[in-house]
């Protein structure tokens, strides 16, 4: 199973990723071909970013050899050690652009597990070649990219999946059923929280000069991000806390926690966002706001409008340790979900509490769980549940465009936009200007109004710089 | 837990008897304010920083005489000494009270929080009127004790939350009493403090005690600790051994207007959450001796006399409540940067800043429509002179803005939040399966408070924070 054609030029792609006006998506799908052959054939999968989380994603897609890992790509030889050992015959690249160009004919699908800032450029390049894509969460690093990938999935008719495996779980389907059955009445408020960041945030940017390790191609690691000297403080994993590469705890966990309410309540584009963040002081009255990093904690309100017969929803996100108020129906000694986070739905007829991926969905008060016969999920379950998320995508790739995946970009794109809307609010909150008196002011500390169709904050222009990044040419 | 019934009991319990102080009963001493002049002879305990400005404020009254100055630190007292050259100086308030009680009418206490109660009580037992900085005390038991002592010894008392003498809180009371916002159900209060580092470990190592400082006296009833320059003169606020965090610092200024307006008493339950600190990935730091960098505290007050229950939500360290819908996008919320109060009633909302400043009905257009007659007397002489005049008039003769029978319950409420924050950090090690320590946090729930018996009824370990153990000799 191979793409018939792989005509895209790297040069052309580079132009595309610079977002020249109207310059994206220039290769029509019918030129590229679908690359779809008999379903009995193995899917040839390339991995871009093959360490860390990819060490789960790739083996699950590989499924003990039921499909092929056809190519591997990582900018860091240390991170790719295990993958290269496991698939010793797969050609290995450092630059995904080279890999796509050289291996385009031999691959059908691409799994992307890089730092957040590279998700979109890689995914788009693959999609433009007609490759199916599995992209880790959050789908993209900025809102514009999420919109673009969502459109690209349709345009290129490729099978897509974001790596929020909870979307394939039984629990999210149960919550969806309960809400559809009206157990909570009209849901107007959703609280969602995570204990992350479980790494340092709100810290000063790293300093010092360091030699780039021989195994790492720093220029490629930076990719589209602004030029910056190598520093070991950024990798691996810890890039999450820095705005040029990661998307904070919202980007990390938002897709896992927000997807249940997002799906069940069909939230769509938000209309506004408002936040406040945990402050950091290095001395008496010496506040530090490092706009290069995400804060240690945040509480963010995201508002959704009326959707058909569904009432407007206020979603409140909490991270870094701050929690919502315990529902009054929850008894004083009862646990409010697990330590890593949770969610609470508030409707006109009741409340529902659940953990990550919507696990352990519980009506409140918890005594209701004993007293009532509750509906079972009416939505078809995914084989393997959350653990079957990657295989679901592999099988869908083989069936071709239109086959169901739990978190295709039509859903994952707007979900990611919502997550990134929170980050837009956080970055606007950190944004400062100096007024005519020489004082530092924070004009973005207000309720930001969002025009979802136009992708524009309408009442605070500087916020729009966070909608879309400028890519570095590299 | 019962309060000591007699002064003699207290003397025994506080070990002061062994030191030989306070053996002369109050009725033998008399009030101690006699001619040559009608001036109130004030002794200041803690004469630097806020103590310095407090004494200066008293001295603006022609009826006040700053007669004695007591401070454990020569640097802190320097300015007061030069301002009041005739005042006799002491280091140890116990010695001062013992030797000078006949020449003292009233005492102002402006030490770090951990010494408020011992100094105030010693003075009250001698029949001295007292002015005590906020928060009134360091623990709940002390607040209850001082409240009862004020009645028992019939002395004039005032806590140093000077905003309680402002016009703002009176305006709010008039609005509320006139039913303009109906019955309060929710109160949201926030401060940007701590505006100094919190949520870190106690300072490492020890420093040489400066020649100007009597460290043992500075510690007072606190447990033995090595001197570190970090603590003095200000950062003790961020450590539970000495201070009471952002809540203790600003709670009396911010909670006061709502507490008074709505007429709150003792809470019945408290819950909290706080920002986690990560200096390394995945391993949360654990600093139970330090107040948190940011927190959220929710207190429940029961309904009474047909009034609904009230939920009070306190936020500090940068996290703020959602802007009320009625507030225009560009209107200032509370103080803007510093903090604020929002009282939500069944028929409307009142907002104000710290100290009850700039009270406003929401939407702010309501302020033009609503006219409530002024029924409460203002305090043109201000908070300090009000106390001076009341002392001269004698117990029970003049109204005070923050006497202990009001300030005591207010302080207990604030310290209730701290009790929750400290209970949050109680952890038990669980059996580890993988060699790594795992912990459970049994205090992370809704704590139920029996205010009559001063006891948390569903988590006994929390009760260690109701009453401290004083250092031997105190």
Instruction: Write the pLDDT tens digit of every residue in B400-436.
Output: 999 999 999 999 999 999 999 999 999 998 876 677 7
User: At B33, is the pLDDT very low, low, confident or very high (cuts 50, 70, 90)?
Assistant: very low
pLDDT of B382 reads 98
Least confident of A146-160, B21-35, B50-64, B193-207: B21-35
CB B198 within 8 A of CB A296: no
User: At A8, is the pLDDT very low, low, confident or very high (cuts 50, 70, 90)?
Assistant: very low
Say yes or no for a CB contact (<8 Å) between B320 and A447: no
Interface of B with A (CB under 8 A): 192, 194-198, 234-235, 269, 271, 273-282, 284, 293-296, 298, 311, 313, 317-320, 322-323, 329-330, 445-448, 458
Mean pLDDT taken over chain A: 92
CA dihedral B254, B260, B265, B269 (to 10 degrees): -30
Q: What are the structure tokens assigned to A207, written together?
A: 């300093």
Say yes or no for a CB contact (<8 Å) between A276 and B458: no
How many CB atoms neighbour CB B442 within 10 A? 14
How many CB atoms neighbour CB A82 within 10 A? 15
Neighboring chain A residues of B295 at a CB cutoff of 8 Å: 322
Mean pLDDT taken over chain B: 92
Residues B291 and A61: their CA atoms lie apart, in Å, by 47
pLDDT of B434 reads 73
Inform me whether the pLDDT recorded for B20 exceeds 80.
Answer: no
- Please give, rounded to a whole number of angstroms, the shortest distance from the CA of A372 to a CA of chain B: 26
Residues B450 and B434: their CA atoms lie apart, in Å, by 41
Neighboring chain A residues of B278 at a CB cutoff of 8 Å: 197-201
- Please give, rounded to a whole number of angstroms, the shortest distance from the CA of B233 to a CA of chain A: 11
ipTM of predicted assembly, 2 dp: 0.89
How would you classify the pairing of strands A351-354 and A362-364? antiparallel
- Select from B280, B294, B322 the Cβ nearest to the Cβ of A274: B322
Nearest chain A residue to B297 by CA distance is: A325
Nearest chain A residue to B439 by CA distance is: A339
Closest CA to A411 of A233, A112, A150, A226: A150
- Please give, rounded to a whole number of angstroms, the shortest distance from the CA of B275 to a CA of chain A: 4
- Please give, rounded to a whole number of angstroms, the shortest distance from the CA of B199 to a CA of chain A: 10
Residues A258 and A266: their CA atoms lie apart, in Å, by 11
Fold of domain B166-379: Dihydrodipicolinate Reductase; domain 2 (3.30.360)
CB B341 within 8 A of CB B259: no
Q: Does A284 touch chain B (CB under 8 A)?
A: yes
- pLDDT tens per residue, range A39-77: 448 999 999 999 999 999 999 999 999 999 999 999 999
Closest CA to A41 of A70, A87, A2, A69: A2
Residues A264 and A179: their CA atoms lie apart, in Å, by 7
User: At A245, is the pLDDT very low, low, confident or very high (cuts 50, 70, 90)?
Assistant: very high
- pLDDT tens per residue, range B303-330: 988 999 999 999 999 999 999 999 988 8
Neighboring chain A residues of B275 at a CB cutoff of 8 Å: 278, 296-297, 320-322
How would you classify the pairing of strands A341-347 and A286-287? unpaired
Inform me whether the pLDDT recorded for B383 exceeds 50.
Answer: yes
Q: What are the structure tokens assigned to B50, written together?
A: 């806020």
CB B443 within 8 A of CB B269: no
- pLDDT tens per residue, range A353-372: 999 999 999 999 999 999 88
pLDDT of A119 reads 98
How many CB atoms neighbour CB A118 within 10 A? 24
Nearest chain A residue to B276 by CA distance is: A321
Say yes or no for a CB contact (<8 Å) between A238 and B281: yes
- Please give, rounded to a whole number of angstroms, the shortest distance from the CA of A322 to a CA of chain B: 5
Q: Does A197 touch chain B (CB under 8 A)?
A: yes
Residue B156, phi then psi, degrees to nearest 5: -80, 130
Say yes or no for a CB contact (<8 Å) between B329 and A446: yes
- Please give, rounded to a whole number of angstroms, the shortest distance from the CA of A357 to a CA of chain B: 20
Q: Is A473 helix (H, G, I), strand (E, B) or coil?
A: coil
Q: In chain B, which segments carry CATH 3.30.360?
A: 166-379
Inform me whether the pLDDT recorded for A312 exceeds 70.
Answer: yes
Inform me whether the pLDDT recorded for A12 exceeds 50.
Answer: no
Residues A450 and A471: their CA atoms lie apart, in Å, by 24
Q: Does A297 touch chain B (CB under 8 A)?
A: yes
Nearest chain A residue to B198 by CA distance is: A281
- Please give, rounded to a whole number of angstroms, the shortest distance from the CA of A470 to a CA of chain B: 30
- pLDDT tens per residue, range A193-222: 999 999 999 999 999 999 999 999 999 999
Q: Average pLDDT of B343-348?
A: 98
Higher local confidence (pLDDT), A337 or A412? A412
Q: Average pLDDT of B73-101?
A: 98
Neighboring chain A residues of B329 at a CB cutoff of 8 Å: 446-447, 449, 459
- Select from B234, B269, B318 the Cβ nearest to the Cβ of A278: B318
Say yes or no for a CB contact (<8 Å) between B293 and A278: yes
Neighboring chain B residues of A284 at a CB cutoff of 8 Å: 195-196, 234-235
pLDDT of A338 reads 81
Neighboring chain A residues of B271 at a CB cutoff of 8 Å: 325-326
Residues B24 and B142: their CA atoms lie apart, in Å, by 23
pLDDT of A121 reads 98
Our measurement of the distance from residue B338's CA atom to the centroid of its chain's CA atoms, rounded to an integer in Å, reads 18
Say yes or no for a CB contact (<8 Å) between A285 and B196: yes
Q: Does A282 touch chain B (CB under 8 A)?
A: yes
Neighboring chain A residues of B192 at a CB cutoff of 8 Å: 279
Q: Does A200 touch chain B (CB under 8 A)?
A: yes
- Best of A297, A312, A338, A463 to mutate (most B CBs within 10 Å, chain B): A297
Residue A350 is given by DSSP the state -
CB A281 within 8 A of CB A287: yes
Inform me whether the pLDDT recorded for A22 exceeds 90.
Answer: no
- Please give, rounded to a whole number of angstroms, the shortest distance from the CA of B273 to a CA of chain A: 5
> What's the length of chain B?
474
Say yes or no for a CB contact (<8 Å) between A279 and B296: no
Residues β-bridged to residue A160 = A133
Omega before B343 cis (within 30°)? no
Say yes or no for a CB contact (<8 Å) between A277 and B197: no
Q: Does A337 touch chain B (CB under 8 A)?
A: no
pLDDT of B37 reads 59
Tell me how many degrees the CA angle A45-A51-A52 measures, rounded to the nearest 5: 120
Q: What are the structure tokens assigned to A392, written together?
A: 């679901």
pLDDT of B452 reads 97
CATH superfamily of B5-164+385-403: NAD(P)-binding Rossmann-like Domain (3.40.50.720)
Say yes or no for a CB contact (<8 Å) between B294 and A447: no
- Please give, rounded to a whole number of angstroms, the shortest distance from the CA of A24 to a CA of chain B: 37
pLDDT of B16 reads 38
Tell me how many degrees the CA angle A385-A269-A297 measures, rounded to the nearest 5: 75
pLDDT of B29 reads 43
Q: In chain B, which segments carry CATH 3.40.50.720?
A: 5-164+385-403
Q: What are the structure tokens assigned to A91, written together?
A: 């050609």
User: At A1, is the pLDDT very low, low, confident or very high (cuts 50, 70, 90)?
Assistant: low
Q: Does A11 touch chain B (CB under 8 A)?
A: no
pLDDT-above-90 percentage for chain A:
89
pLDDT of B36 reads 41
- pLDDT tens per residue, range A223-238: 999 999 999 999 998 9
Q: Average pLDDT of B373-402?
A: 97
Inform me whether the pLDDT recorded for B3 exceeds 70.
Answer: no
């Amino acid at each position: 199973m191979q793409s018939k054609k792989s005509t895209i030029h790297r040069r052309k792609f580079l132009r595309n990723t610079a977002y020249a006006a109207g310059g994206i998506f220039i290769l029509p799908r019918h030129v590229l071909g679908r690359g779809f052959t008999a379903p009995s054939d193995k899917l040839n999968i390339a991995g871009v970013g093959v360490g860390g989380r990819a060490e789960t994603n790739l083996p699950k897609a590989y499924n003990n050899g039921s499909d092929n890992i056809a190519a591997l790509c990582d900018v860091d030889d240390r991170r790719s050690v295990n993958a290269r050992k496991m698939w010793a015959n797969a050609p290995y690249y450092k630059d995904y652009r080279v890999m796509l160009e050289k291996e385009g004919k031999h691959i059908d699908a691409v799994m992307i597990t890089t730092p957040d800032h590279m998700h979109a450029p890689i995914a788009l390049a693959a999609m433009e070649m007609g490759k199916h894509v599995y992209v880790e969460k959050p789908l993209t690093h900025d809102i514009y990219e999420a919109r673009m990938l969502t459109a690209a999935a349709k345009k290129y008719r490729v099978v897509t999946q974001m790596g929020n495996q909870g979307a394939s779980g039984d629990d999210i389907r149960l919550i969806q059923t309960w809400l559809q059955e009206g157990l909570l009445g009209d849901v107007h408020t959703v609280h969602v929280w995570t204990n992350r960041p479980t790494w340092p945030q709100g810290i000063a940017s790293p300093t010092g000069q360091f030699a780039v390790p021989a195994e790492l191609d720093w220029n490629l690691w930076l990719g589209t991000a602004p030029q910056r000297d190598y520093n070991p403080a950024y990798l691996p994993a810890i890039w999450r806390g820095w705005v040029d590469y990661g998307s904070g705890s919202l980007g990390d966990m938002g897709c896992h926690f927000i997807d249940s309410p997002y799906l069940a309540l069909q939230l769509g584009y938000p209309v506004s966002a408002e936040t406040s963040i945990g402050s950091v002081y290095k001395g008496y009255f010496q506040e530090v706001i490092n706009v290069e990093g995400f804060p240690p904690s945040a509480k963010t309100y995201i508002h959704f409008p009326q959707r058909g017969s569904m009432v407007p929803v206020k979603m409140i996100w909490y991270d870094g340790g701050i929690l919502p108020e315990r529902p009054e129906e929850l008894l004083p000694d009862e646990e409010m979900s697990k330590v890593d986070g949770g969610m609470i739905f508030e409707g006109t007829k009741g409340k529902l509490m659940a953990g990550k991926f919507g696990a352990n969905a519980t009506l409140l008060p918890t005594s209701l769980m004993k007293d009532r016969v509750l509906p079972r999920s009416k939505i078809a379950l995914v084989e393997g549940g959350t653990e079957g998320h990657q295989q679901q995508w592999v099988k869908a790739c083989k069936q071709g465009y239109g086959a169901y995946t739990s978190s295709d970009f039509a859903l994952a794109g707007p979900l990611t936009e919502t997550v990134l809307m929170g980050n837009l609010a956080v970055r606007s909150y950190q944004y400062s200007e100096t007024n005519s008196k020489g004082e530092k002011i924070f004009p973005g500390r207000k309720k930001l109004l969002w025009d979802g169709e136009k992708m524009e904050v309408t009442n605070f222009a500087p916020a729009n710089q966070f909608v879309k990044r400028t890519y570095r040419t590299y | 837990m019962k309060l000591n019934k007699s002064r003699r009991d207290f003397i025994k319990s506080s070990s002061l008897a062994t030191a030989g102080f306070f053996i002369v009963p109050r009725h033998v001493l008399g009030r101690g304010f006699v001619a040559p002049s009608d001036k109130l002879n004030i002794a200041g305990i803690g004469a630097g920083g806020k103590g310095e400005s407090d004494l200066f404020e008293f001295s603006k009254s022609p009826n006040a005489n700053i007669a004695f100055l007591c401070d454990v630190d020569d640097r802190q007292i320097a300015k007061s000494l030069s301002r009041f050259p005739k005042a006799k100086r002491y280091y140890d308030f116990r010695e001062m009270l013992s030797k000078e009680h006949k020449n003292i009418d009233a005492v102002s206490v402006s030490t770090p929080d951990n010494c408020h109660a011992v100094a105030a009580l010693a003075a009250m037992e001698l029949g001295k009127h007292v002015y005590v900085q906020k928060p009134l005390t360091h623990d709940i038991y002390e607040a209850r004790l001082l409240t009862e002592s004020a009645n028992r010894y019939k002395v004039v008392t005032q806590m140093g939350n000077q905003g309680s003498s402002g016009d703002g809180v009176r305006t709010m009371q008039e609005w509320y009493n006139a039913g303009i916002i109906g019955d309060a159900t929710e109160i949201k209060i926030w401060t940007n403090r701590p505006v100094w580092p919190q949520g870190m470990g106690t300072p490492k190592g020890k420093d040489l005690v400066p020649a100007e400082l009597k460290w043992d006296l500075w510690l007072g009833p606190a447990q033995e600790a090595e001197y570190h320059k970090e603590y003095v003169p200000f950062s003790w606020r961020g450590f539970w051994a000495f201070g009471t965090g952002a809540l203790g610092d600003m709670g009396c200024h911010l909670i006061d207007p709502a507490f008074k307006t709505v007429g709150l008493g003792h809470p019945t339950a408290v819950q909290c959450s706080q920002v986690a600190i990560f200096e390394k990935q995945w391993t949360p730091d654990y600093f139970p001796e330090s107040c948190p960098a940011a927190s959220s505290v929710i207190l429940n007050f029961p309904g009474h006399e047909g009034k609904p229950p009230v939920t009070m939500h306190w936020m500090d360290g940068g996290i703020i409540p959602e802007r009320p819908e009625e507030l225009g996008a560009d209107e200032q919320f509370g103080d803007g940067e510093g903090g604020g109060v929002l009282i939500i009633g069944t028929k409307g909302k009142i907002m104000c800043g710290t100290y009850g400043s700039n009270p406003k009905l929401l939407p702010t257009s309501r302020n033009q429509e609503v006219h409530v007659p002024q029924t409460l007397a203002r305090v043109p002489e201000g908070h300090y002179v009000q106390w001076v005049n009341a002392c001269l008039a004698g117990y029970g003769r003049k109204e005070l803005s923050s006497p202990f029978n009001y300030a005591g319950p207010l302080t207990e409420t604030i310290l209730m939040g701290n009790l929750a924050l400290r209970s949050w950090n109680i952890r038990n090690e669980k059996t580890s399966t993988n060699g790594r320590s795992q912990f459970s946090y049994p205090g992370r729930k809704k704590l139920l408070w029996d205010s009559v018996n001063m006891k948390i009824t569903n988590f006994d370990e929390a009760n260690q924070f109701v009453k401290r153990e004083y250092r031997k000799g105190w």
